[in-house]
Amino acid sequence: MSELFPDYRPSWETDQHRELRKHAAEFFRKESVPHRERWSGQHMVDREFWNKAGAAGLLGLDLPEEFGGAGGDFGMQAVVQEELVYAHDNGFGFSVHSPIVSHYIHQYGSAEQRRKWLPGIIAGELVLAVAMTEPGTGSDLQAVRTTAIRDGDHYVVNGSKTFISNGTHCDLVVIVAKTDPAKGAAGVSLIVAETKDLAGFERGRVLEKMGQHAQDTRELFFSDMRVPVANLLGEQEGLGFYQLMEQLARERLIIASICSALAEAAVLEALRYSREREAFGRPIGKFQHNAFTLAEVKTEALAIKTLVDYAISQYVGGKNDPATASMAKLFAAETADKVVDKCLQLFGGYGYMMEYPIANMYTGSRVNRIYGGTSEIMKEIISRSL
């Protein structure tokens, strides 16, 4: 149940979702909140945290029960993601691992691949990453230069990737590579690399980001790295670009969920502070300008929430519509960034101090307008549907 909007209930949210929300909130309160500062300093969450999240049943919730999942829907992923944001945790790479990459394996993996990997993914024993972005390519996945050339029963992989979330802990990496460089998009394939003791696999430096300091974002390098042909996702080579496009709605909806929760969390922090902080003999929230600002951001937070929930309800109902998902991400990312900025202003100088959650929200929110496809790309996708 929303603290800011206690009477609000998404159309897709069942009693099971609400129970999950309570469970996730309690788990993050106990297992995440006490460690936030330390994780930020070490640029990663503890590896054991993944196992704890798996044991708590918070990973792969919409994956089949036969592999250890809950057999639920995308709404379950959104619920856990929202509670993670409400706990002010932006280091745990849940969004990449559970709602996004696990479904590349579930949707396109063979029966053998699913049996081999999904139980460990759901238990938190195998941490997932996806290696898409390369230096110089950005969002243009057709232009990737990483190659995977077949040599007998193996692919020989060469190339580099950047901005890889879960880059420190990842046990499995879904690599976007050219199996036939001459074919452009039709030559792109998805190949799963098992990183333990893998010759030719190197984790590069931890990237110094403006925000999300507790997240282990790294560069990855592949030098004559041999990966079994059996690790190809899909029945044949050249399907990778289309597999990526089919799953983008999930990625954009989970980012939209992050933004929705972020806006709500920022407004709650601003409301609390404006009631406690006094200036000129009264709480700062009593000044008309500040009261009007709070009215604006609460309204904007609800607008984000309703659009995102509409898009999720469409997806849960079986409609995988890139335009609707792009609208949700575009509006949520752009508006949440403005909401957080307005809320920070109410804190004055304290809003600039990283010990205050609002400062972490501010530095962390900006990336939502970039990753998963920039706002400009979202507009392009939406315009094609007009």
Q: What is the rounded CA–CA span in Å between residue 170 and residue 180?
A: 26
Tokens of 155: 């692919």
Q: Nearest CA to 328 among 384, 247, 242, 251?
A: 251
Instruction: Give, for 136, the enclosing helix (H) or strand (E).
Output: none
List beta partners, residue 160: 221
Q: How far is 177 from 158, CA to CA, in rounded Å?
A: 9
H or E segment and range at residue 383 = helix 375-384
Backbone dihedral angles phi then psi of residue 227, each to the nearest 5 degrees: -125, 135
CA distance 110 to 230: 9
Active-site residue flag, 13: no
How far is residue 217's CA from residue 266's CA, in Å, rounded to a whole number? 24
Q: CA distances (Å), 286 to each of 10, 283, 290, 293, in order?
A: 32, 6, 7, 11
Helix (H, G, I), strand (E, B) or coil at 101: helix
Chain-centre distance of CA 353, in angstroms?
Answer: 25
Q: Judge contact between 162 and 202, C-beta under 8 A.
A: no
Query: Catalytic: which of 83, 251, 264, 300?
Result: 251
CB 298 within 8 A of CB 224: no
Active site residues: 251
